[in-house]
Amino acid sequence: MTYNVRVDTPEDAANVWRHRRDAVASTVRYHAPDVVGLQEPLAAQLDDLRERLEGYRFVGQSRASAEAAGEYVPVGYRAARFEAVDSETFWLSETPGIEGSVGWDATHPRVCTRATLRDRESGESVVVFCVHLDHKGREARKRGAELVRERAVGVESGRVLVLGDFNCEAGDPPHDLLASSFDDARAVTPHDHGPNTSRTDFRDLIADWTIDHVFVGDDWTVESRAACSDQYDDGRYPSDHLPVVVDLS
C-alpha cells in the first residue's frame, strides 16, 4: 500500500487530522497490507498511527534538518511478517546525504525512505523505496526520480518496490524514468479496481488524476491493483489521496 495521509494543517478546517486519524487508521487496518508507505505525516500524526496500528512498525526520518520538525515519508511493515534489517532516508537533491537539502527547483526538502525488510517466513529480502516528489518543481521531480531509480537499480540483493506520491501521472517524465526500469503495477495487473484517480478534495473524487504509483521489479507478479475509495460516516474521504493497494506474489 502507498497512502498520502495529508499533513495536519489548520487550513483544512473540518478535515484537520484529529477528525480523520481514526478513519485513516481504520482504512489501513481493513486492507491489512504487509508493507505500507506513507507520505506527509508529521511526527504527531505518525505517533497517532503507531498507537492505532498495533502490530506495525515504521522507519524513516523527517525531511527537515531538525528531527521531528517536518513531514515524514515512512515505510511501515507488519512486524509479524517482516523485520527491518536496515533503513535510511536520503534527500532528493544534489546532496542526498545533507539533511534538509532542497533540490533543483523544489519548493520544499523532499526525501525517499529506503527500508530493507527480511521476510520471517522465507528469509528473503524486500527492499522498499517510499517517495514523495515535489508538487511544483518539474526539474526536481525528474531529477528526484532519476536519483531514486539509480539507487533502486543498484540494489544487489532483494526484491524491489518503489512506491509513493510522485505528483505526476503515467506518461510524465518522472513516471517514464521509473517505468524504464520497473513495472508500473497498474500497467501490468490483470485486475485493476477502483476509480481512475488517486486524488480527492475530501468530499469528492478528482477525476482522472492518478499520481500515486507502485513500481515493482521483474521478479514480482502483480495479482491485482486497487485505488481504494473508502469513505467514512459523513461521506468524506479520510485524506486528499486514495490509498493504492497492490497484491504481489
SS3 content of the chain, % helix, strand, coil (to 5): 25, 30, 45
Band of pLDDT at residue 102, cut at 50, 70 and 90: very high
Give the model confidence (pLDDT) of 42-97 as tens digits: 999 999 999 999 999 999 999 997 666 899 999 999 999 999 999 999 999 999 99
pLDDT recorded at residue 65? 75
Query: How long, in residues, is the chain?
Result: 249
Q: Which residue has the cell 506520491?
A: 165
* Residue 215: pLDDT over 90: yes
Residue 199 in this model has a pLDDT that exceeds 90: yes
Tell me the backbone φ, ψ of residue 105, rounded to 5 degrees: -105, 25
User: Is-contact 72 46, C-beta < 8 A?
Assistant: yes
Domain limits, the chain? 2-248
The cell for 9 is 494543517
Is residue 210 very low, low, confident or very high in pLDDT (cuts 50, 70, 90)? very high
Q: What is the pTM of this model?
A: 0.97
pLDDT at 231: 96
Nearest to 126 by CA among 82, 73, 76: 82
* Architecture, CATH, for domain 2-248: 4-Layer Sandwich (3.60)
Strands 192-193 and 222-227: parallel
* Statement: residue 228 has pLDDT above 90: yes
Please tell me the predicted confidence (pLDDT) of residue 233: 87
Q: Pick left, alpha or beta for residue 200 (phi over 0 → left; psi -120 to 50 → alpha; otherwise beta).
A: beta
What's the rounded Cα separation, in Å, for the pair 140 and 110?
9
* φ, ψ at 248 (rounded to 5°): -125, 155
Calpha distance 46→79 (Å, rounded):
16
Structure-block grid coordinates of residue 73: 515519508
CA distance 172 to 6: 23
d(CA 113, CA 96): 12
